[in-house]
A and B are shown apart, each in its own frame.
Chain A
Amino acid sequence: METRSRPLAELLDPAAVSSAEALGMHAREIVEGYIAGEHKSPYHGFAIEFAQHREYSSGDDIRHLDWKVLGRTDRYYIKQYEQETNYVGHLLLDGSESMKYGSGSHSKLAYGKMLAACLSYTILKQRDAVSLNIFDTVSRQHLQRSNSHSMIQKVLNTLAAFNPTGQTNIAGVLNEMARQIRRRGIVFIISDLFDDEDKILSGIQHLRFGGSEVVVFHLLDHAEIEFPFEGLVDFVGLENIPKIRTRPREIRKSYLQEFNGFCDRIREGCERNQCHYLRVDTSQPLAEVLSGYLAFRLRTSRK
């Protein structure tokens, strides 16, 4: 138990989780509520919790007038609601070999696992449902969506037990997922996206067509962003790519050009498809990344 709990505990970054709890997990767009039934519009007030009263001012929808208060006090008050809806968070974690790379204390995969764990925890805490899918060329590990309390344990175990082996084929997996996800929800893609950009983007597009909100956590190692190597270096490909010997310092500029071009193309593609793109440097503390993201969500969902 002891040996098992440690990697699990490590997956949940306490700082990240606590800030995430405080901010809550909000769907950027209205997501149909699972509990409330599929045919009710969220705008018609289901899964609505009373939040506060506010004095009526002209132009307000009179549907929201608190008639009881009007009857008792003869004043016009508007009832304001906290709109909540049940949704499914689909976590897609890239488990390909390229994710094993890490120049700092942890690899991109470890970071992705933590991110996935924290997201799951936060979502489940709000009694929303979570599904987990770890993939490389195909889906390797899959946990059906669930909002039960035991789900977090399952998620953590699955994450902890996973070891990457294969190459990446994000595009295929995304298309597959698009077909599988029938209930709309939020799809979290956690990956370095080292694959053909066009295919990735078409996969994302596919998901978006299915109606899901897509959030892309683009995990990048600090060394990949900065390319700080000196001297003569043998670069050994993680995914069966033949090694290359070169003096990295001399090609740094063109590498960064290529690399940033790639990141920019991904970001632009994401923005075109109206999905949220986050470039994550794995040397940043997870809490910062997560709270940054959640704060952003909070802002956008209050529109």
Chain B
Amino acid sequence: MSFLNPLLLSGLAAVSIPIIIHFLNRRRFRRVEWAAMRFIELSVEKNRKRMDIEDLILLAIRCLLLLLLALALSRPAWRDSAAGALGLSKVTAVILLDNSGSMGLSDGVETRFELARKAAEQVVDGLPSGSAAAVFLATDAAEALLAEPTHDLNLVRKVLREARLSDRASDLQPPIETALETLKGRASVQREVYLITDDQATGWRQLGDIQTVLKRAGKGEDVQTHLILVGQPETRNLAVTDLSLATGLAPVNRPLRFEVEVTNTGTVPVENVQVSLHLDDGTAADSMVLPDIPAGASRAASLFARLPNDGWHTVAARISGDRLGFDDQRVLALRGVRELKTLLIDGDPGPEARAAESFFVRHALTPVPFAERAEYFIKPQAASVAQLGGMRFEDFDLVVMCNVAELTVAQSQLLERFVQRGGGLLIFPGDRVNAAFYNRQLGDALSLLPARLGSIYGDAKSDEKFFHFQARNYGHPIVSLWRNESAGTLASARFYQAYELLPQEGGTNNPAASSVVLRFADEKPAMVEKMHGLGRVILFASTADIGWNDLPVRPAFVPLLHRAVAAVTRHQDDSANIPVGQDYARRVNAEFVGHTAKVSTPLHEGDEHDLTRVEMIATVPTLTYAKTDRAGRYSIQLDETTEETLFAAQPDPRESDLASLTEEDIAELAAVATITRWTPMTSLRQTVEQKRVGAEFWLPLAFLVLALAGTETALAQYFSRSK
């Protein structure tokens, strides 16, 4: 026996009300001067005893009535088999409908998601009348369709019918937590969670935690969990699990190499898989055939495409379709660059070109034979600090500072404005650098510097002692290429001397915070980057020439430099490729705040589009778009005058893995949940109702109260009849 509204038990104090009224009433009388007293005396004498008894009976009934009313309002409930006689009590249910990518798997007739929707409707049909249900879409997070349990079950059915599949990954632990959180504190004797999903094992990767919370909820809070599994196991599936641009920049009209990874997530080997690369509208740019992919293995393909013009493009890698469609294509958004004007500010031009501080950078930026340099899209131009007077930063896309001692205050302010407006800046220190100027002017005054320059460590004069870049854990996008060991290594470069970089501290929400791109093996930062306005700055710890290290003569220098250049000049492009389900966010000029942008998504066809607004987020005018549930190409048009921006959402490769839960896992889950393998022939009602044995009995109590009220009225009438 428990009370769902225990607070209302204090209403039991109301029992005293009739007693108080009884005594108060004794003081409310009319006074009549009366002559024929002896008749009254006689009658009263005759009736006194009976009237007293009747009074007591009425008082007792009224007290009992209030007592029962208070009990009924506090909603007592008990759970045992006898409660079944009182009928099924109302249920508060949370329906978790898995709409992750794997639910799109079709058995040739229906997708798993369509089956799940039917199962969900059966769940709703099986709820006793008066029940309430909330609906969440479960992927790697819970998306509320009906966040609060509603008694309008027709609304629940409608919401379920209109639920859409997404391409998101599944991780069922957060949705289950959300469901239990929703049920927490619900005043209902019967609380149930229905999780309708496929038996994909990746969704249960936090199985231990799920078991723990379900067990706790089942024992402590009496929440029944029903796990409804739909769909048949699938043995064959191929997925495009990765697509990336091998080079950092995407110059126009040059062959760009794309790395495509195709994974066989099925349990049987596959042969002759055709992989093709499509540009924008779908024309095939390149294709190749992968001879065979064993079960569970991945194969990489290098495909080439040329961008016809500058601006935004998407590139899609496709394989022929199978039963699970969302992973048969992967889209990458990128921006073509026609030319990249680069200003190399050389702090140590030296007596001859070869001795110049910027020599290696300059050559690394144009890695083509001398004759083709004029055609090459990167156009470096070197200048000493003294020559800066006649130049405008605005004429360049990128500024590289190599061992520059210091700038004038005016120059540094111009440089700051240049970055603010979207320019890129690379800073290499060296022996000439005036660290105090950097820290004070560029750091403190203009907050342009990603990190303060600390002390110099190591000794360039001796080549005995050296140190390396970190050899693994390349987390930053700029160096993510080297995660793949076939791309060469960064760790071979030797460093003899470097500045200790002290990154600006800042919270994760601080847009001005800097992040470390690359560290040395001893964890000291080697490259630190920072957003500044629309632009970006990267600070290196060591020199751009071979003065303090031998990086410039290592093969990794060119890709590292190119990727760094790409990062600072088209830094927005990082955010142009997002995992499915993650919010897309892009900085825009402040003039667009409040503007509405048109967004067309993979779901929209033709001229259909969605809208989103540009808003200030943490003082930064930002264009965001959150409904990125589907993989593929998205385009945003801010207004007629601006260029259309593209971005792409890419599914989690893990979602393509259709491996089923093992029997052991299912056995373990059965300890904390009722598991039903659902087919359209299954009737859920029986299994579910067996679990519902608890009953509330406020209703019979309420009837009893009514009956008592009736009795009270009748008795009062009867007792007050003339005697």
Q: Do A and B come from one complex?
A: yes
Which A residues fall within an 8 A CB radius of B?
Answer: 97-101, 108, 192, 194, 221, 224, 229, 231-239, 241, 244-255, 257-259, 262
Decide if A259 touches B39 in the complex (CB within 8 Å). Answer: yes
A291 to chain B, nearest CB (A): 27
Which residue of the partner chain, among B34, B38, B722, contacts A253 with CB atoms under 8 Å? Answer: B722
B53 interface residue per 8 A CB criterion:
no
A99 / chain B contacts, CB cutoff of 8 Å: 35
Q: Are A229 and B723 in contact (CB under 8 A)?
A: no
Chain B residues near A257: list those with CB within 8 A.
Answer: 43
Q: Does B461 contact A (CB under 8 A)?
A: no
B223 CB to nearest chain A CB (Å)? 56
Interface membership of B720, Cβ < 8 A? yes
| A238:B34 contact, CB within 8 angstroms | yes
Measured between beta carbons, the chain B residues less than 8 angstroms from A262 are 39
From B26, B31, B37, B42, A254 is in contact (CB under 8 Å) with B42
Is B466 at the interface (CB under 8 A from chain A)?
Answer: no
Smallest CB gap from A232: residue in B? B29
Stretch in B44-52, B111-119, B505-513 with 4+ CB within 8 Å of A: B44-52
Tally of chain B residues near chain A (CB < 8 A): 27
- Report the separation of the CA atoms of residues A237 and B39 in the bound assembly, to the nearest whole angstrom: 11
For A194, what are the chain B residues with a Cβ–Cβ distance below 8 Å? 35-36, 38
| Alpha-carbon distance between A253 and B723 when the two chains are bound, in angstroms | 5
A258 touches B42 (CB 8 A): yes
B664 interface residue (CB < 8 Å to A): no
Name the one of A241, A250, A259 contacting B723, with C-beta atoms under 8 angstroms.
Answer: A250
Q: Are A255 and B34 in contact (CB under 8 A)?
A: no
Residue from B28, B34, B47 within 8 A of A250 (CB atoms): B47
**CB neighbours of A241 from chain B (8 A):** 37-38, 41
Give the shortest distance, in Å, between B18 (CB) and chain A (any CB). Answer: 16
Are B43 and A251 within 8 A (Cβ)?
Answer: yes
Cβ–Cβ contact B29 & A244, under 8 A: no
Interchain CA distance A245-B36 in the complex, whole Å: 14
Tell me, in angstroms, the Cα distance from A232 to B25 when the chains sit together: 8
Given A246-B44, A250-B720, A254-B723, A232-B26 contact (CB < 8 Å): yes
Cα of A249 to Cα of B54 in the assembled complex, Å: 14
Any A CB within 8 A of the CB of B33: yes
- Interface status of B187 (Cβ within 8 A of chain A): no
Which of A100, A229, A250, A259 contacts B32 (CB under 8 A)? A229
A249 and B722 within 8 A (CB): yes
- Whether B722 contacts A224 by the Cβ 8 Å rule is no
With both chains docked as a complex, state the minimum distance between the C-beta of A7 and any C-beta of chain B, in angstroms. Answer: 22
Check B720 against A249 for contact (C-beta < 8 Å): yes
Report B34-83 residues with CB < 8 Å from chain A CB: 34-44, 46-47, 51
Which residues of chain A have C-beta atoms less than 8 A from B31's C-beta? Answer: 233-234, 236
B29 and A233 form a contact (CB under 8 A)? yes
Having A238-B33, A249-B722, A257-B43, one finds 11 other A-B pairs with CB under 8 Å, namely: A194-B36, A224-B36, A233-B31, A234-B32, A235-B32, A237-B34, A238-B34, A250-B51, A251-B723, A253-B722, A259-B39
- Interface pair B38/A233, CB less than 8 Å apart: no
Which of A253, A254, A257, A259: most chain B Cβ within 10 A? A254
CA distance A128 to B467 in the complex (A): 155
In the complex, what's the smallest C-beta–C-beta distance from B52 to chain A, in angstroms?
Answer: 11
B632 to chain A, nearest CB (A): 83
Question: Across the interface, do B33 and A231 meet the contact criterion of CB distance under 8 Å?
Answer: no
B360 on the A face (CB < 8 A):
no
B354 within 8 A of A: no
Instruction: Please measure, in the bound complex, the distance between the C-alpha atom of A192 and the C-alpha atom of B34, giving whole angstroms.
Output: 13
B471-495 contacts to A (CB < 8 Å): none
- CB contacts (< 8 Å) of A234 on chain B: these are 29-32
B158 within 8 A of A: no
Q: Which of B33, B36, B42, B723 contacts A236 (CB 8 A)?
A: B33
> Shortest beta-carbon distance, A300 to chain B, in Å?
31
CB distance from A19 to the nearest CB of B (A): 29
How distant is the Cα of A251 from the Cα of B39 in the complex, in angstroms? 10
Residues on A with C-beta less than 8 A from B47 are: 250-251, 254
B722–A244 contact, CB under 8 A? Answer: no
Contacts of B46 in A (CB 8 A): 251, 254
Contact B51 A236 (CB under 8 A): no
What is the distance, in angstroms, from A236's C-beta to the closest C-beta of chain B? 5
Q: Judge whether B721 and A250 touch: CB under 8 Å.
A: yes
Cα distance A101–B38 when bound, in Å? Answer: 14
Residues of A within 8 A of B697 (CB): none
Contact present for B28 and A251 (CB under 8 Å)? no
Find chain B residues with CB under 8 A from A233 CB: 29-32
In the assembled complex, how far is the CB of residue A87 from the closest CB belonging to chain B, in whole angstroms?
32
Assuming the contacts A229-B32, A247-B51, A254-B46, asked whether A237 and B37 have C-beta atoms less than 8 A apart, the reply is yes
